[in-house]
Structure 1
């Protein structure tokens, strides 16, 4: 076999290797979410912001609403060839606190087909804690019977 044939064969192998490596998907993880074992150490109704940070680490972000809730976000991106990276997986862990800074709720959310999906929840929400007084007042219109006002029970 001549040296020219060896060079051509080597060049073809290098090109084939380059094409196959270039067409391989590469996955990258961004962000951080505490493990379930870490979260098992957080006791709802007892732990505070400081103890959550000690157990789970600092949050990715805080609440934009000013209520001091913690959010841990983890995303997985797929890089393929020369195309733009696409997000293939996202998970958000929300730790909410009451006015005293004590853990009220821990929830996990995922992003499935562009829709937010609740993955887990540690506390059942009563539905009125995040509603303002005016929201409760206006929400009560139409939920009463005029007969019960005019004829109270026991009269």
Structure 2
């Protein structure tokens, strides 16, 4: 007589494997939250006073800006963005703060402005082609379209004056 073992039934094995696979798959469906850019401290930003502070004091209080303007009046920008993403989908902005510090030519603070989510531009492409202006040419027209145009009169190259006379006809 054989010794009897407590063998789990096939139903239990399948159920156990299903629970384990769901346990491994669920973390892939969790929402990913990220922060990019400047960490905004409202108290520090509110402490910047127009007419009192200058570039040095702003850098000492807020740190180096995310980026500075290159042309026109001098401006520093501090950009902060929080995003949410579900598994493999594209991240979506959940919060954004843009702080702009404006300076006069002497380097003194003229103003501090704030903006938020209203500055986000939503660009959604249509289809798989980018609309362009100009002629609509096929691939073969692009490749073979210039055959015969090289050296044609008025088209550049060297073929504009067949008798090689000077500009005055001499």
TM-score by length of 1: 0.64
Deviation at 1:79, TM superposition (A): 1.5
Task: State the partner residue of 2:107.
Answer: 101
More strand by share: 1
Q: Distance in 2 between matches of 1:6 and 1:113?
A: 55
Q: Could you say which structure has the larger radius of gyration?
A: 2
**Cα distance in structure 1, aligned partners of 2:54 and 2:75:** 11
- Does 1:112 pair with 2:118? yes
Q: CA RMSD in A?
A: 2.3
Deviations 1:12-70 (A, max 9, x none): 12221233322221110100143121123322101111110101111111013253211
Once residues 91 and 106 of structure 2 are traced to their aligned partners in structure 1, the CA distance between those partners, rounded to angstroms, is 42
Consecutive unaligned residues of structure 2, counting only runs of 5 or more, are: 1-6, 122-170
- Name the SS for the 1:112 alignment partner: helix
Runs of 4+ with >6 A deviation: none
1:139 aligns with none
**1:9 aligned to which of 2, 15, 19:** 15
Corresponding residue for residue 62 of structure 1: 68
Q: Please, which runs of 5 or more residues in structure 1 have no aligned partner?
A: 116-155
1:88 and 2:94 aligned? yes
Q: How many equivalent pairs are there?
A: 115
Please give the alpha-carbon distance, in whole angstroms, between the structure 2 residues aligned to 1:11 and 1:77. Answer: 34
Counterpart contact for 1:33–1:92, Cα < 8 Å: no
1:48 aligns with 2:40: no
TM-score under structure 2 normalisation? Answer: 0.59
Greater percentage in helix: 1
